[in-house]
Structure 1
């Protein structure tokens, strides 16, 4: 029975390792069942020793006492299943443990496959993500999020369009990417295995640059040109899908085309009232009462139920948008047949991290996981010591009060990011 006990231990330790990630992985018997379907006990034993930041495979092999060639072979098998990220940097193979999201959930369902029990996994992911709110609240807590809404450009008033920054435009994200990958929408694909997917197009997930290159190499995406990606974007707009992109300004990694019924981010908003799960665009829907007939098309189209019908001042039924709930995506503009809806500026630019590193540092600080992010190498005493210090700083009352003051918070984040970049370069 020893091997069974050890196997259970490895899955428990893997869950704990995944929970150190910025987006978390709360303990649950359901998560354990998911991990057992995805990882063999031997893979779990390796995976739970892989840092949350990239590490050279040769260095990891020395740390865990395996020949580098043998470890590389095992990592390649896990990477094919989408459980780890592997890539080359300066001629050396590197690896990093994939989180649940954005990570191995998406990589399981971004393609059709027969090497995994897809229906059983879909049922388990559904239960883990939506049976209670623990996972959703781990992923979508605080202010900095994984995804941000993009405003459909044609929905913007002509006078304001010149004020839209390049990183706010889906067209710019597509046309500026050096590599584009096209995959199945993981959320709708998962829903299809539960017999409850909507009729929206399925092959709509766009990835860019290094992430796209990795997915294409692993067969999880097919390479697409900018023209083909723009055609997918237009198809998705016509289908009433909202564009939700990587919450960064530079080197955007992904762009989802999301429906209100299957998308995990939108379901977190609607199921658990986590209204900040997706960062809004800098725009919100504005409805012209004189043009609105109260037909309700926009109400049915809004993915987050931010629009309702109410009696206007003249007694006519009209659409009303709650700006605080609105994503600023422009889906309602496409749905309206009367030209009664446009997007208007919110009056304040939404703050978006400049790079993926800046986003991750901000998320780590907000979630009290800065120590895990910066000092994630448990084999080195110096890292453990620094990690404990950082953890104490994060939890101290003065730092919490300090972070509540927005100008100080911004300066603190910038200083932490600058220092962490120097640390990781070393």
Structure 2
């Protein structure tokens, strides 16, 4: 297959469409749309709440279990293992690696280990192959397939691996239109889904530091006196001048697999220099701050929750708006019941049982399955460890107004760590 770079979509007609969309949304009070379903929430005999959590199921294998698979692929799969936040060797990982790389590419990438930054010359020496040939292959992987990343200018360009998730999963799929997906991309998405569904990523939740924090939906904190600038998306993005939006890769994968929820996709956001790079590569659409705020407002109205990064590259950041049925980060809780990768919330909902009608709308609207309502026996359950403090339950409870958001006692604002170079964010921009 010949790889071609995606061309930017910046036609006049599209600008007009987005301008019309802005006018349609502007000044409109948030009304949560209820025609979307969350497959992680069930209604069982009148009891509305989370589905039974799945247990991670990674069946660990050894090289000897794959006698017909070239060793170079197995070594690459090993490189994407636990040292790079991936799973141990398993069928799903091997299948994905065999699809991501040609055997020629794998013969080079086998020599690129987790945490290493290597030039084409260094890898050529290890692979015993011509330097120019190796550089050409690395350029395809870094600048056309977006599987690995590069830093610096030739001839001192250094190449490095990024995790499958968060990492290559996003850089491979991020784009402005589903129409640009090739059969290779679609197969990658399906193979990635099979790997994710083993639950390997959820297992990491217990041993990793939180990488993101979810923001309360705007309407839920309009009258909350304890809300901080920290809690508002508009404040979070105020330090940036450049923004680009693309399709959410998690919902893309579920759509390809026939399990899409139908919620808006164009809300994956790059900020700062990475936004300009994404647009230059044709993988993001530049927007003004006001349009971005309207996009996020529509996302919230569709039951999506926006997150902010706790690990950034200097001058850059990213954000997306998630659902509990598609988002890989949320599903670590909503599907596998393993909190840990998400920062503790600033707020938790408090219910006035005298006002509660036990209608179940709050449980249906909770993306994490933190609320259980027995509509027949009029009881309510709340799993605080699953709650991300998004406030969608409160927005659903407009009629009874039985819910309020209360600050968590002793809450401390998590530190945002800034990297001067490297890391996943530099990967998003392809630098």
Q: What TM-score do you get using the length of structure 2 for normalisation?
A: 0.71
Instruction: Say whether 1:341 aligns with 2:403.
Output: yes
For the 8 Å contact 2:309–2:416, the answer to whether it is kept is no
Which position in structure 1 is the counterpart of 2:47?
none
SS of the residue corresponding to residue 160 of structure 1 reads coil
1:87-102 map, 5 Å: 87-88=151-152, 93-102=157-166
Larger mean Cα displacement after TM superposition, 109-118 or 301-310? 109-118
Partner of 1:372: none
> Measured at CA, do residues 279 and 48 of structure 1 come closer, stay the same or move farther in structure 2, by a change above 3 Å?
farther
- 2:78 corresponds in structure 1 to 16
Structure with the higher fraction of residues in helix conformation: 1
1:257 shift after superposition: 0.7
How many angstroms apart in 1 are the aligned matches of 2:312 and 2:124?
37
Q: TM-score, normalised by structure 1?
A: 0.72
1:56 CA drift (Å): 6.1
The question of whether the paired residues in 2 share the 8 Å contact of 1:183 and 1:204 is answered with yes
Q: Which residue is 1:140 aligned to?
A: 205
1:117 aligns with 2:184: yes
Over the aligned positions, Cα root-mean-square deviation in angstroms equals: 3.3
1:322 to 371, 378, 383: 383
| Aligned equivalents of 1:122, 1:100: Cα separation in 2 | 12
- Residue by residue over 1:342-395, the C-alpha shift from the partner in whole angstroms, topping out at 9 and shown as x without a partner, is 32211122463431559x99xxxxxxxxxxxxxxxxxxxxxxxxxxxxxxxxxx
Residue segments in structure 2 that go unaligned for 5+ positions in a row: 1-65, 424-431
Structure-2 change in CA distance of 1:74 and 1:250 (3 Å): closer
What SS does structure 1 have at the residue aligned with 2:225?
helix
Distance 1:48 1:356 in 2: 30
Deviation at 1:214, TM superposition (A): 4.3
Structure 1 spans left out of the alignment, 5+ residues: 362-426
- Whether contact under 8 Å (1:205, 1:255) holds in the other structure is yes
Deviation, 1:45, is 2.5
What is the alpha-carbon distance in structure 2 between the residues aligned to residue 245 and residue 150 of structure 1? 7
Which residue does 2:194 correspond to in 1?
127
Give the Å deviation of 1:39.
0.8
- CA apart distance, 1:59: 6.3
- 1:43 matched to 2:68? The reply is no
Distance in 1 separating the partners of 2:240 and 2:155: 24
> How many equivalent residue pairs?
349
Are 1:195 and 2:258 counterparts?
yes
Q: Structure 2 matches for 1:273-422, cutoff 5 A?
A: 273-309=337-373, 317=378, 320-338=381-399, 339-350=401-412, 352-357=414-419
2-structure distance, mates of 1:337, 1:153? 14
Match of 2:43 in 1: none
For 2:284, the equivalent position in structure 1 comes to 221
* Structure of higher RCO (CA pairs closer than 8 Å, 6+ residues apart): 2
